[in-house]
Structure 1
Amino acid sequence: MHNLFQHRLVDHWMQLTKYLRYVFNDFFVIALMFFVGALGLAYSNFLRGLTPHQWWQPIIIIAVLELGLQLGRLATLIMAPDRVFLAPQEGQLQGYFRQSFIYSLLMAGLMQAGVWFALLPFVSVSLDWNLIQLAMGFCLSLLLKWDWLSYQFWTLRNHQRLTWWRQPLFQWFLPLLIFSMGITVNLWVAFGLATGLLIISGWLIQKQVPPLNWQGIVAAEQLRILRIYRFFALFTDVPTVGPQPKRRAYLDRFFRRIPQNQHHLYTNLYVRTFFRDGETSSMYVRLLVVAAVILFFLDNSVVAVIVALTLLYLTGIQLRPFFTFFANNVFTRLYPVQTSDQVRNFRQFWQWLLVIELVLEVVVLLLGKAPISAAFISMVSGSVIIWWLMTRFVRKSQEQEGNNYRKETIK
């Protein structure tokens, strides 16, 4: 049991490095170098013209520290079968969880060091802090991260249903209060509050008695691993990452407006799946946000039109495979619905999504720095692209349906 965590940690890192080689490929590393270089140059130019002691500077510092504090979770490396095989040896797992806490604290400390290192020039210029104050600020962020990990460690043996405000209190509100006090009032007072909070957390942990909350431990670790693998899934296929549909009952009023008849069966399926599935809808929303942010700051009409049309076309290409989402579902073959109805339903749904993106791009161009002519050209050209995508999709679908009919006839 003493070496169990070390063995699992080695296996865990071997699994991560297997995917990291797909993330840090040659093209990504080159793009990352250019991005970091450009960001560093812009950051340096921004600091040169910065006037200290502005009212908005402490707000930026507190917000960045608060968001940086959320990086890193308690890594227990507990698996689902452990609730059966390790439960009888629960009394011998104190050293295991102590090692997991130390490892999590070290990794979180590295993340806090990275956040503080990036924020250090801005803090030094904005607040005129000396070296001792800068070191105290970093220690304060480490203490608050220790507090947050201690709260997660406390939940390992907690079987009671927690009130809704308890986790936001320890995760967001108390760190926000202490950071605000340290930045605007006195660092020593904030340091003392963080230390007192850590002592209280340790006292609550010492009061706990077995058994462990195995269900909560397994669920928390699976969620942590899933978040890591979702990042890897942006670069390569990860078998352990699957769709996680959500009910979204607040959309039922919208779903009821869709005609509930045989001719709109696939419309209901596509719309409900799109909004309840976390992959396609999140991809679509991310592309909308990227398009809106980029187009808002473009002032060259030619570049704005090219970017708007390119992003619209890329969104259409990314949404096209959604047509085959139900291809592996055998029950859809029992529906008394023609393939032409499925094609028509998907074309209407796909067209609406692209029209929404086109309208958003035109509105952003009108509100941004680009000329009005760029918005008009984007609207006309985007309409042509949508029409071409829809026409090509219907033609390809009809050809595929004809080929399938001929094969069935030959058989």
Structure 2
Amino acid sequence: MFRVFKDRRRRFLLQLLRYSRYVFNDHFVLVLLVLLGFLLVQYRNLLENFPQQPVFLFAALGAALFALLNSGSIATYLEPADRQFWLPKESELKMWILQAQKRSFLFGTLLQTLFLLLVTPVFLRQGFFLWHVALLAVLLAVLKWFLIGRKAHLFWNSAGRLNWDAAIDYEKKRQQSLLKFFALFTRVKGLSGSVKRRRYLDGLLKFLKKEPAFLWENLYWRAFLRSSDYASLSLRLLLLSILGLIFVDHPLVAASLALLFNYLLLFQLLALYYHFDYHYFTGLFPIDRQLKGQNLKRFLSCIAYLLLVIEMPFTLSWQGAGLLAVVTVVTVEIYLPYKIRQMID
């Protein structure tokens, strides 16, 4: 049984490794290196010009530690068929879940400790000693074990038996959350989503033209507003763009961060081209096949320029505003038509 679960883990990690090649391409690595260099310079300036009242600094550190403390999940690699196939082996399965719990604890504790080592100079500049940082690391490790134990407790019912539905649903959500990250950069197999009608947004659909030439654009807008994946992703990336424009001092770096998040959003929304492929009746529409790509271009252009209008008030310099506007126009008028032609071909 353990060999089966280890093989599942190996296959899933290999799948993530294959997708990582599309994430860490040359352009993205270059952006990350520039961003890392900028952060290191800012960190050095912070240590050299340490604030006398670092309340907000330690509040940010506390928020980061709290996020790390609550992050992480237990990787069990359970599948729906296991509730029948491995039911006689439930007692042995408890050992596998305990091992997964320990792996999650060790990995999470390692991340917390590395972060503490990174910010140790901040604590030292404030007058703390190394043993204070070491004590904090031990305390966080204890809390991590407690929180991981609470997550594992969800797998069992009041009688001490494995809650198969809860455990399988937890593992499905865990894998989906990882795949959704890679879906920002490339098409990912195995993703599932949900659709919900948001009645408070129905008024926006009234502005769409109900004509054959705008058929696909109507469908794209409905999928965008009602799909949980596209709507939540758009709000998160827009929020990150605005936060970057507000809190990053250098205007060009702030605008570059906003453009990066906008690019990720537009790249993800390109997948709307295939969103209705499983609706076979769409192939019966008496319209030109080229209209599908043209409507997608018009839809993405509206999204891109809407992002530009929202982000412009938070751009506090003409350099950043100019960079944001120019790159957005180039993306809409050159990059998007090129990508859509590739998808059609």
TM-score range, shorter chain: 0.7 to 0.9
Match of 1:46 in 2: 46
CA separation of 1:316 and 1:28: change in aligned 2, threshold 3 A: closer
Deviations 1:159-214 (A, max 9, x none): xxxxxxxxxxxxxxxxxxxxxxxxxxxxxxxxxxxxxxxxxxxxxxxxx5343111
Match of 2:196 in 1: 247
* CA drift at 1:123: 2.6
CA distance in 2, matches of 1:316, 1:228: 17
- Paired AA for residue 270 in structure 1: Y
* CA drift at 1:273: 0.5
Residue 76 in structure 1 maps to residue 76 in structure 2: yes
CA distance in 1, matches of 2:274, 2:13: 36
* CA contact 2:198–2:226 (8 Å) conserved in 1: no
CA distance in 1, matches of 2:109, 2:261: 42
CA separation of 1:376 and 1:33: change in aligned 2, threshold 3 A: closer
* CA contact 1:157–1:210 (8 Å) conserved in 2: yes
Deviations 1:344-365 (A, max 9, x none): 8667645543442342244334
* CA drift at 1:112: 1.5
- Paired AA for residue 168 in structure 2: V
Over aligned residue pairs, what C-alpha RMSD do you find? 4.5
CA distance in 2, matches of 1:48, 1:298: 17
Q: Given the alignment, which residue of 223, 228, 232 partners 2:182?
A: 232
* CA contact 1:105–1:146 (8 Å) conserved in 2: yes
- TM-score normalized by the length of structure 2: 0.74
* CA drift at 1:47: 1.5
Match of 1:182 in 2: none
* CA contact 1:274–1:280 (8 Å) conserved in 2: yes
* CA contact 1:19–1:232 (8 Å) conserved in 2: yes
* Range with bigger deviation, 338-347 or 322-331: 338-347
Residue 276 in structure 1 maps to residue 233 in structure 2: no
CA distance in 1, matches of 2:18, 2:296: 38
Q: Given the alignment, which residue of 159, 163, 166 partners 1:216?
A: 166
CA separation of 1:102 and 1:34: change in aligned 2, threshold 3 A: same
Match of 1:104 in 2: 104
CA separation of 1:101 and 1:376: change in aligned 2, threshold 3 A: closer
Match of 1:177 in 2: none
Match of 1:196 in 2: none
Residue 359 in structure 1 maps to residue 309 in structure 2: yes
- Paired AA for residue 107 in structure 1: F
CA separation of 1:253 and 1:217: change in aligned 2, threshold 3 A: same
Match of 1:36 in 2: 36
* CA contact 2:262–2:307 (8 Å) conserved in 1: no
- Paired AA for residue 133 in structure 1: H
CA distance in 2, matches of 1:291, 1:332: 35
Residue 141 in structure 1 maps to residue 145 in structure 2: no
Q: Given the alignment, which residue of 367, 370, 379 partners 2:318?
A: 370
Residue 155 in structure 1 maps to residue 154 in structure 2: yes
* Range with bigger deviation, 264-273 or 289-298: 289-298
* CA contact 1:298–1:369 (8 Å) conserved in 2: no
CA separation of 1:138 and 1:388: change in aligned 2, threshold 3 A: closer
- Paired AA for residue 105 in structure 1: F
Percent sequence identity is 25
SS in 2 for 1:215: helix
CA distance in 2, matches of 1:92, 1:317: 46
CA separation of 1:287 and 1:252: change in aligned 2, threshold 3 A: closer
CA distance in 2, matches of 1:350, 1:25: 24
* CA contact 2:245–2:314 (8 Å) conserved in 1: yes
Match of 1:189 in 2: none
* CA drift at 1:71: 2.4
**Structure whose CA Rg is larger:** 1
- Paired AA for residue 72 in structure 2: G
Deviations 1:32-80 (A, max 9, x none): 4454343223212212211455433442232111111132111222222
- Within a 5 Å distance, the mapping from 1:188-203 to structure 2 comes to none
* CA contact 2:69–2:144 (8 Å) conserved in 1: yes
CA distance in 1, matches of 2:104, 2:299: 45
* CA drift at 1:18: 4.3
- Paired AA for residue 143 in structure 1: V
CA distance in 2, matches of 1:231, 1:315: 10
